[in-house]
Amino acid sequence: MRNINSSQPLPDIAKKDSLPLQVFPLDVNNVNSVKEAIDRIMQKFERIDVVVNNAGYGLIGALEDIPMEEIKAHFETNLFGAIRVIQAVLPIMRKQRKGTIVNISSMGGRIAFPLSSTYSGNKFALEGISESLSYEVEQFGIKVILIEPGVVKTNFANNLKKIAKTMNTVSSPYAKLVQVREANRKLMVENRSITPDEVAKIILKAVTSTNPDLRYVAGNDAAGLLESKNNMTDREFRKFMMKNFFGESKSKISK
């Protein structure tokens, strides 16, 4: 965990259920922190079999309004953080001739969502890197898996960053668009989200499979959206997305 002081109640749950769980400090944005954490794990256990790259956060806002430092920070955690961990564990897994790397992507890594340009950008990149990596490391017995959840009911929404300028109806031409998008996003979390347990079961199934798939879609909302995109033309799908995320045409929203 990035903040070890936030690790409770994990150790308490582990103790209660007799689970061999240990928590180490690790900040994916800091290469030294990544190295130190992996060194500690290797000293204690002498191997690493599965890595799940799950660090990340969302960012809502119009691209024109997002400061460059916010964009860089978003990619730093969501994309480069995963790459740092992958590069650190690959020599270990190559030596073992075995290992599984699980990258938590998103349906936003397959389909670009409105006002989530940087999130979809770094998730699209993670998808491409993972697919390419899978070819490179297969010869060493290393598997790469992408998990693509839809809406999940976690603290992710609470940690969502919003660009204040975009939310202000006075200072941004995109504010109305964002406000409608936000209202519909909250409804999706309430009505169409899946639980973390459901995602965890998919991850467990993937990492224990003898011959896992590269991609696993998690959630009926994600599967349905992907099916819609595959069965529509680009023009049809754009209209579909505008209706589902904004409930009306762009021209009406902007008024």
Q: What is the pLDDT of residues 195-206, one digit of tens each?
A: 899 999 999 999
First to last CA, the chain: 45
Higher pLDDT, 69 or 7: 69
When pLDDT is averaged across residues 133-145 and rounded to a whole number, the result is 98
Catalytic residues: 105, 119, 123
* Domains of the chain (ranges, CATH numbers): 1-46 (no CATH), 47-253 (3.40.50.720)
Say which residues have a Cβ less than 8 Å from residue 29's Cβ, sequence separation at least 6: 76, 77, 80, 81
Question: How far is it between the farthest Cα atoms of the chain?
Answer: 62
Task: Report the amino acid identity of residue 163.
Answer: I
For the cut 90, the answer to whether the pLDDT of residue 189 exceeds it is: no
Per the prediction, the chain carries an average pLDDT of: 88
- The Cα–Cα gap between 190 and 151 comes to 9
